[in-house]
Amino acid sequence: MKTHMLAQQVALVTGASSGIGKAIAVAMADAGASVVVNFHSQPDAAREVVEHIARHGGRAIAVKADVGSESDVERLFEEAVTAFGRVDILVANSGIQRDAPIGEMTLEQWNQVIATNLTGQFLCAREAVRLFRRQGRSRGPGDGRREGQREGQREGADEAPSRALGKIIHISSVHQLIPWAGHANYAASKGGIDLFMRSLAQEVAEEGIRVNAIAPGAIATAINRESVEDEAARKKMLSLIPYGRIGAPEDVAAAALWLASDASDYVVGTTLFIDGGMSLYPEFRDGG
Ligand code: BGC
């Protein structure tokens, strides 16, 4: 669906070569944003996302970066600014699973998941906050801004493409709330995102930076392909979803679009659960 909700804005989406990140990148481009499609290991898939966006009249570039690496994240933001002049929206989406029962979990499995899922969110959010501060409210020459307009964040906000100075959306998981045996590293990383996101939201809200999160449930992507495609596993998964269907990446993208837009301008430090009710303790449906 084409809208102009994010016209004149730039969105940087990490892990956007597939799954939820890809759907968010496409939705934001459809809403008028220029999009930086970050990827780690799938250059062809990232290029296809960029081409898809271009075919639909949007603007996008693909940038390779490991979100767990400080220098990569710095370069990612530099390339975004070189291509599009600024960043207005960060969607910190990259996430991986390296599952193992606790007795067998290697330090490498633990570290990989924490590096991508938690440290990656910190590094990207920090870089976004730094850039939002440097950008202020100025839109550069020829954009109709008046001198000195960046002072007093609400002044002239009606002329800016967004009421906020910048927006950060962390993609978490229902497992920031629901413990997950056999996936302790993943659940720990997502639990970490929750308090990181809320602490950051509290810290930077007064500057006009809105920080929020989305906690997706079972969304059909590569990360859970086995459970979604195997008949028995799929049935088991569905029994945990009151709404009775496995989610699509577009279900999450719709929420991300709303959180990035002025329609949610008074929403700060919130996590939206997009999970078909998975976080409602469905085991208790019949009275426990
Ligand atoms: C995980 C998926 C899982 C879903 C619901 C997500 O965060 O990445 O593998 O299917 O949570 O348990």
* Model pLDDT for residues 236-274, shown as the tens digit of each residue: 999 999 999 999 999 999 999 999 999 999 999 999 999
Asked if residue 283 belongs to a domain, the reply is no
Q: 3-state SS of the chain: helix, strand, coil percent to 5?
A: 45, 15, 40
Contacts of 56 (CB under 8 A, 6+ apart): 26, 29, 30
Q: What pLDDT was estimated at residue 140?
A: 53
Q: What pLDDT was estimated at residue 46?
A: 98
Confidence label for 65 from pLDDT (cuts 50, 70 and 90) = very high
Asked if residue 287 belongs to a domain, the reply is no
Q: Give the model confidence (pLDDT) of 166-195 as tens digits.
A: 999 999 999 999 999 999 999 999 999 999
CA-based R_g, the chain, Å: 19
Question: Residue 152: is its pLDDT beyond 60?
Answer: no
CATH code: domain of residue 220: 3.40.50.720
Are the CB atoms for 24 and 252 separated by under 8 Å? yes
Distance 70 CA to ligand 1 centre (A): 27
Task: Catalytic residue, from 186, 243, 266, 281: name it.
Answer: 186
Q: What pLDDT was estimated at residue 151?
A: 44
Q: Nearest C-alpha to atom 8 of ligand 1 is from which residue?
A: 223
What number does the ligand 1 atom closest to the CA of 224 have? 9
Q: Nearest C-alpha to atom 12 of ligand 1 is from which residue?
A: 218
What number does the ligand 1 atom closest to the CA of 275 have? 5
Distance 183 CA to ligand 1 centre (A): 10
Considering the chain, what percentage of its residues have pLDDT values greater than 90?
88
What number does the ligand 1 atom closest to the CA of 178 have? 12
Q: Which of 255, 163, 247, 248 is nearest to 210 (CA)?
A: 163
Q: Nearest C-alpha to atom 3 of ligand 1 is from which residue?
A: 218
CA dist., res. 16 & res. 103, Å (int): 33
Question: Mean pLDDT across the stretch 121-130?
Answer: 99
Confidence label for 137 from pLDDT (cuts 50, 70 and 90) = confident
Tell me, yes or no, if 281 is annotated catalytic.
no
Q: Which residue has the tokens 């850039």?
A: 131
What number does the ligand 1 atom closest to the CA of 97 have? 8
Residue to mutate, 173, 180, 236, 239, ligand 1, most ligand atoms under 8 Å from C-beta:
173
What number does the ligand 1 atom closest to the CA of 190 have? 7
Asked if residue 3 belongs to a domain, the reply is no
List the structure tokens of 257. 């679009």
Q: Nearest C-alpha to atom 4 of ligand 1 is from which residue?
A: 218
Q: Nearest C-alpha to atom 7 of ligand 1 is from which residue?
A: 173
Per-residue H/E/C for 128-172: HHHHHHHHCCCCCCCCCCCCCCCCCCCCCCCCCCCCCCEEEEEEC
Distance 224 CA to ligand 1 centre (A): 7
Least confident interval from 44-58, 59-73, 112-126, 132-146: 132-146
Q: What pLDDT was estimated at residue 154?
A: 47
Asked if residue 109 belongs to a domain, the reply is yes
Are the CB atoms for 127 and 74 separated by under 8 Å? yes
Asked if residue 225 belongs to a domain, the reply is yes
Asked if residue 164 belongs to a domain, the reply is yes
List the structure tokens of 128. 């976004």
Question: Residue 81: is its pLDDT beyond 60?
Answer: yes
Q: What pLDDT was estimated at residue 288?
A: 80
Distance 110 CA to ligand 1 centre (A): 17
Distance 218 CA to ligand 1 centre (A): 5
Considering the chain, what percentage of its residues have pLDDT values greater than 70?
92
Q: Give the model confidence (pLDDT) of 38-57 as tens digits.
A: 999 999 999 999 999 999 99
The total number of structural domains that make up the chain: 1
Q: Nearest C-alpha to atom 5 of ligand 1 is from which residue?
A: 218
Q: What pLDDT was estimated at residue 87?
A: 98
147 against 116, higher pLDDT: 116
Asked if residue 167 belongs to a domain, the reply is yes
Ligand 1 pocket, Cβ-based, cut-off 6 angstroms: 97, 173-175, 217-218, 223-224, 227
Confidence label for 148 from pLDDT (cuts 50, 70 and 90) = very low
Average pLDDT, the chain: 93
List the structure tokens of 63. 């940038």
Asked if residue 284 belongs to a domain, the reply is no
What range defines the domain where residue 36 resides?
Answer: 10-277
Distance 217 CA to ligand 1 centre (A): 6
Q: Which of 152, 94, 140 is nearest to 121 (CA)?
A: 94
